[in-house]
C-alpha cells in the first residue's frame, strides 16, 4: 500500500511529504538546509542544540527535528528572531570552545566552523566560563578533547544505539555537563572497542582519530629505514572524495603514485593478504564442518568486533576464527620475507598501513602482533590522515597518472578487494569453500544474497550435498542481537561475518566524515566494480599467494608455519572495568590482587556481600599483608546477575551468586565461594 501524500507550506512553497519523521526532514527534502548539531538521520532524535528552530504559524517557534509534520502547516525557516537566536547559540558555543582551528584535525571540515560562517558570526560577545579540561590521549585509536565538545550527544547515541556499548555518556549537569566515560575514566581504560564511529559523527573534532602521520614522516626522512606501505581495500573508494571525486571512485592507482612521490620504497595492496586470509579462514571453516568443530564460526577480520566479543561474549571466543586480520597477516609476512628481498635488516624495515579503520591502530600495538617487542605493523594511518599528508606535500592527486602496486604483494583478486564491504569477506570465503567442497569450478562467483546495506543478511548455499547456513551482520548492536539469538537457539548458522561499522570498512572511523547510506552504497558499488575489473575474482586463484605459501609458509594453508605466522589467540577482556576503588591494601613487596565486580545498575548487588566475605576470609587466615583487593564498578550489568572475581590475572569465577539480601550462610555454602578461597590459598602459597 502506497504512503499517503500530504502537503504543507515552507517559506511560501507547497511541499509534499509522506512518512518523514519530522519537519526537519521535510524541509531538507525541499532543498533548504537548516543548521543543526545534534540531529543525525541514523540516530534517535535528541533536540538539544536548538539550531533547527522554525516558526510554525499558530504554534510559534519550535525545534524542527522534534516536531512532527502535519498537513496544512505553514512553516518559516528564517526570521530575524530565529536568525538572532541561532547566532546567539553559536556564539555561546564558541565562547567555551577551543578555537585553535588551524591545528584541529577537523579544520575546514567542522560543522561549528561552517555554521558560524553560514550565520555570519564575526564577533563573540560572551566570555568563557569554563576551564580547560585535559585532553584524553589514552586510547591508541582516538583522541578526545572535551574543550571542543558542544554536547550534541551524537557520539553518545552512536556508541549506544549503533554499537550497543555506551562507552561514553553525559555526566554532571548545567554548566558542568560533560560527555565522558563513566566515573571520569579515560577512554583507553573502558570498554571502548576503538571503532571510531564516535569520531565519524562528531561535528567539531572533540573526538578524532589519533594522528600518527608525523611518525610516518620521521620514518620516511630516516635514511637508515626502508619504508613500505599497504593500502586497505576500502581506502581506494573513499579517499578521492577529499579531492572532488565521487564516492566509490577507485583512486588506487593515483594513491600509489602519490605514495611513491612521498618516498615509500614499495606500495602493496592489503587485498593480497585478504586473499591469504581466505586461504586460511575458508580452510578453517571446511575443517570445522568436516570434523565437527565449533560452529558457527565467526570472522576475525574486524578488530573492533573481536574486542567487543572479548569484552561482552568471552564464551564465544572458541567460535571466532583464529585467523589474523589481513593487516596483521601482511605485517607478519612482510617482516618475514621483505628484509631479504629489499636488502635491509628486519629492524630497519618499517611497515605502514593505510586503513579506513581506527581500530586497526589498536590492533597493531597489541603485544601478540610483535616479535621481540617490535610490532610487525609499525604505524597505522587512516584515510583522513593520508589525505592531509598528500596535501602537505602539495601533491595534486587528480593530476597524477595511476601507477601499479608493487609485486608480489600487490597482486590481488576481486575476492580480496571486496573485503571492504559488509558481506565481502563472506562472499570471498564462499567462493573458496564451495568450490573446494564441490571439487569443481564455480558456475558463478557471485553470492549476491550477502551484499547490500541490510543490517542482517542470511543465505543458505549447498556444497558437497550439504547445506551451509551463513549470516552477515554490521553494527555491533545488531551483532549483539544475532549472538543472543544463536545462544538461545533461535538462529542456526555455520558461518557468520561481523563488521563493527555500518556497511563495513567503507564507513570506518578513519574515512571521510558525513557518510550516509547513499554514500555507503556508492562505495560498496565501487568495490564490486573493482572486483569485476580484476583479472581473477576467486582468492584461491591468486598464484602469487600460492607461491608465497610454497616458498615461505609451509607449503599450504593450515600448515604449522601458517598457524605460526597467520593465526592468533584471543583474550578474555570481561574484566574490563569503568572504575575501581580500593578495599584492602597489603604491605608485603610481593602480593596479589583480588578484584570483585559491583554493578552500578543492579539493585542489591551480591558483589558487595561477596567482598565482605572475602575480606573476612583473608583476615581469618592472616593473609592481609599479601593481598590487595578492589571493588570494580561496571556500567554493564552482568548477565543474570553474574559477578566476576579475578585473582591475579586469572578470572576465577563468573557465577550467579544469590541476591545480597540472602544470609551469609547461604552464600558461603556455594561451591563458587569455595573455589575462590582455594585460589586465594594457592596464591598465598606461591608467594611463600
Q: How many helices (H) and strands (E) does the chain have?
A: 21, 24
Let me know how long the chain is: 688
User: Are 596 and 643 in contact, with CB atoms under 8 Å apart?
Assistant: yes
The CATH number of residue 168's host domain is 3.30.70.20
Dihedrals φ, ψ of 459, to 5°?
Answer: -155, 155
What confidence score (pLDDT) does residue 122 get?
87
Q: What is the pLDDT of residue 401?
A: 96
Q: Which CATH number fits the domain that encloses residue 475? A: 3.40.950.10
| pLDDT mean across residues, the chain | 90
Contact 17, 33 (CB under 8 A): no
| 136 and 262 co-located in one domain | no
556 plus 673 within the same structural domain: no
The Cα–Cα gap between 375 and 372 comes to 8
For 554-578, the pLDDT digits (tens) are 999 999 999 999 999 998 887 666 6
Let me know whether 392 and 349 are in one domain. yes
Are residues 275 and 201 part of one domain? Answer: no
Report the largest interatomic distance among the alpha carbons of the chain, rounded to a whole angstrom: 85
Is position 394 within any domain?
yes
Q: Per the domain annotation, does 571 fall within a domain?
A: no
Is residue 125, in this structure, part of any structural domain at all?
Answer: yes
Instruction: Looking at the structure, tell me whether residues 471 and 332 fall in a common domain.
Output: yes
Asked which of 209, 230, 245 is the last residue of a domain, the reply is 209
Return the CATH number at 34: 3.10.20.740
Query: 377 and 243, same structural domain?
Result: yes
pLDDT tens figures, 464-489: 999 999 999 999 999 999 999 999 99
Report the C-alpha gap between 136 and 179 in whole angstroms. Answer: 12
Q: Which of 21, 56, 78 represents a domain boundary (last residue)?
A: 78
The gap from C-alpha 542 to its chain's centroid, in whole angstroms, comes to 29
C-beta separation of 214 from 220 below 8 A: no
What pLDDT does 368 receive? 95
pLDDT mean over 606-618: 84
266 and 540 Cβ atoms separated by less than 8 Å: no
Whether 613 and 562 map to the same domain: the answer is: no
C-alpha distances in Å from residue 277, one per residue of 228, 322, 329, 540, 604: 20, 11, 8, 10, 47
Range in 29-33, 39-43, 450-454, 534-538 the model is least confident about: 39-43
Please check whether residue 647 lies inside any domain of the structure.
Answer: yes
Are residues 413 and 467 located together in one domain of the fold? yes
Q: Are residues 248 and 332 in the same domain?
A: yes
Q: What is the pLDDT of residues 68-106, one digit of tens each?
A: 999 999 999 999 999 999 999 988 888 888 888 888 888
3-state secondary structure 479-491: HHHHHHHHHHCCC
Composition of the chain by helix, strand, coil, percent to 5: 45, 15, 40
Would residue 573 count as lying in a domain?
Answer: no
In this structure, are 191 and 315 located in the same domain?
Answer: no
Number of domains, the chain: 4
Instruction: Tell me: pLDDT of 19 over 70.
Output: yes
Could you tell me if residue 643 is inside a domain?
yes
* pLDDT of amino acid 569: 94
Q: CA 171, CA 180: separation in Å to the nearest integer?
A: 7
The more confidently predicted of residues 77 and 658 is 77
Q: Which of 128-142, 227-241, 601-615, 639-653 has the weakest average pLDDT?
A: 639-653
- Taking only the tens place, the pLDDT of each residue in 407-428 is 999 999 999 999 999 999 999 9
CA distances from 267 to 78, 228, 423 (A): 52, 6, 26
Containing domain of residue 600, as a range?
Answer: 579-687
Query: Running DSSP on this structure, what letter comes out for residue 136?
Result: B
Neighbours of 203 (CB within 10 A): 26
Residue 169 near residue 156, CB atoms below 8 Å: yes
Residue 658's φ and ψ, nearest 5 degrees, are -65, 160
- Is the model more confident about 658 or about 294? 294
Is 572 within a domain?
A: no
* 163 and 253 fall within a common domain: no
pLDDT of residue 661: 46
Give domain status of residue 84, yes or no.
no
Residue 530 and residue 467 in one domain? yes
For residues 442 and 424, what is the distance between their CA atoms, to the nearest angstrom?
17
Residue pair 130/96 in contact by the 8 Å Cβ criterion: yes
Tell me the CATH number at 618. 3.40.30.10
Q: Which of 566, 587, 621 is the last residue of a domain?
A: 566
Question: What is the DSSP code (8-state) at residue 354?
Answer: E
pLDDT tens by residue, 323-339: 999 999 999 999 999 99
CA distances from 671 to 107, 613, 678 (A): 59, 14, 11
Amino acid at each position: 500500500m502506497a504512503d499517503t501524500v500530504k502537503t504543507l507550506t515552507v517559506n511560501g512553497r507547497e511541499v509534499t511529504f509522506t512518512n518523514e519523521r519530522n519537519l526537519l526532514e521535510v524541509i531538507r527534502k525541499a532543498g533548504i538546509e537548516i543548521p543543526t548539531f545534534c540531529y543525525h538521520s541514523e540516530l534517535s532524535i535528541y533536540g538539544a542544540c536548538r539550531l533547527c528552530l522554525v516558526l510554525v504559524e499558530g504554534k510559534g517557534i519550535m525545534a524542527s527535528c522534534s516536531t512532527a509534520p502535519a498537513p496544512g502547516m505553514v512553516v518559516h525557516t528564517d526570521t530575524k528572531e530565529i536568525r538572532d537566536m541561532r547566532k546567539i547559540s553559536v556564539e555561546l558555543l564558541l565562547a567555551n570552545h577551543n578555537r585553535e582551528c588551524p591545528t584541529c584535525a577537523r579544520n575546514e571540515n567542522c560543522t561549528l566552523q561552517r555554521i558560524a560562517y553560514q550565520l555570519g558570526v564575526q564577533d563573540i560577545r560572551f566570555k568563557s566560563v569554563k576551564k580547560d579540561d585535559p585532553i584524553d590521549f589514552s586510547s591508541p585509536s582516538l583522541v578526545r578533547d572535551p574543550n571542543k565538545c558542544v554536547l550534541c550527544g551524537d557520539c553518545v547515541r552512536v556508541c549506544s544505539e549503533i554499537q550497543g556499548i555506551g562507552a561514553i555518556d553525559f555526566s554532571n549537569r548545567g554548566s558542568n555537563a560533560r560527555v565522558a566515560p563513566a566515573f571520569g575514566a579515560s577512554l583507553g581504560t573502558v570498554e571502548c572497542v576503538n571503532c571510531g564511529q564516535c569520531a565519524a559523527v562528531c561535528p567539531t573534532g572533540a573526538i578524532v582519530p589519533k594522528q600518527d602521520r608525523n611518525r610516518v614522516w620521521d620514518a620516511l626522512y630516516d635514511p637508515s629505514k626502508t619504508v613500505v606501505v599497504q593500502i586497505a581495500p576500502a581506502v581506494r573508494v573513499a579517499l578521492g572524495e577529499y579531492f572532488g571525486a565521487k564516492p566509490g571512485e577507485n583512486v588506487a592507482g593515483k594513491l600509489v603514485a602519490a605514495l611513491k612521490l612521498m618516498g615509500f620504497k614499495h606500495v602493496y595492496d592489503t587485498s593480497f593478504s585478504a586473499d591469504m586470509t581466505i586461504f586460511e579462514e575458508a580452510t578453517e571453516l571446511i575443517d570445522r564442518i568436516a570434523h565437527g568443530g565449533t560452529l558457527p564460526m565467526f570472522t576475525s577480520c574486524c578488530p573492533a568486533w573481536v574486542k567487543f566479543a572479548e569484552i561482552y561474549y568471552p564464551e564465544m571466543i572458541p567460535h571466532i576464527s583464529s585467523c589474523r586480520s589481513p593487516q596483521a597477516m601482511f605485517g607478519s609476512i612482510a617482516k618475514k620475507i621483505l628484509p631479504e628481498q629489499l636488502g635491509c635488516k628486519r629492524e630497519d624495515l618499517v611497515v605502514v598501513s593505510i586503513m579506513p579503520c581506527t581500530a586497526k591502530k589498536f590492533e597493531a600495538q597489541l603485544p601478540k602482533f610483535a616479535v621481540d617487542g617490535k610490532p610487525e605493523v609499525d604505524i597505522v594511518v587512516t584515510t583522513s590522515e593520508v589525505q592531509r599528508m598528500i596535501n602537505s606535500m602539495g601533491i595534486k592527486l587528480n593530476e597524477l597518472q595511476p601507477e601499479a602496486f608493487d609485486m608480489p604483494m600487490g597482486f590481488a583478486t576481486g575476492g580480496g578487494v571486496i573485503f571492504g564491504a559488509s558481506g565481502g569477506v563472506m562472499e570471498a570465503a564462499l567462493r573458496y569453500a564451495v568450490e573446494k567442497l564441490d571439487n569443481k569450478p564455480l558456475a558463478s562467483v557471485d553470492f549476491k544474497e550477502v551484499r547490500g546495506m541490510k543490517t542482517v543478511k542470511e543465505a543458505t548455499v549447498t556444497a558437497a550435498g550439504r547445506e551451509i547456513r551463513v549470516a552477515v551482520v554490521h553494527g555491533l548492536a545488531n551483532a549483539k542481537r544475532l549472538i543472543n539469538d544463536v545462544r538461545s537457539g533461535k538462529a542456526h548458522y555455520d558461518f557468520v561475518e561481523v563488521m563493527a561499522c555500518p556497511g563495513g570498512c567503507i564507513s570506518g572511523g578513519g574515512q571521510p566524515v558525513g557518510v550516509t547510506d547513499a554514500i555507503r552504497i556508492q562505495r560498496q558499488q565501487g568495490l564490486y566494480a573493482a572486483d569485476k575489473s580484476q583479472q581473477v575474482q576467486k582468492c584461491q586463484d591468486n598464484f602469487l599467494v600460492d607461491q608465497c605459501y610454497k616458498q615461505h609458509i609451509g607449503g599450504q594453508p593450515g600448515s604449522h608455519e601458517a598457524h605460526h605466522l597467520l593465526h592468533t589467540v584471543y583474550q578474555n577482556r570481561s574484566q574490563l572495568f569503568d572504575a575501581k576503588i580500593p578495599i584492602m591494601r597489603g604491605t608485603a613487596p610481593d602480593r596479589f590482587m583480588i578484584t570483585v565486580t559491583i554493578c552500578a545498575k543492579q539493585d542489591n548487588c551480591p558483589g558487595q556481600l561477596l567482598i565482605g566475605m572475602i575480606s573476612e576470609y583473608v583476615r581469618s587466615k592472616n593473609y592481609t599483608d599479601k593481598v590487595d583487593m578492589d571493588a570494580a564498578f561496571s556500567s554493564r550489568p552482568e548477565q543474570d546477575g553474574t559477578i566476576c572475581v579475578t585473582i591475579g590475572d586469572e578470572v576465577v569465577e563468573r557465577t550467579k551468586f544469590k541476591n545480597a539480601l540472602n544470609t551469609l550462610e547461604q552464600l558461603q555454602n556455594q561451591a563458587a565461594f569455595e573455589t575462590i578461597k582455594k585460589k586465594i590459598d594457592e596464591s598465598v602459597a606461591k608467594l611463600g
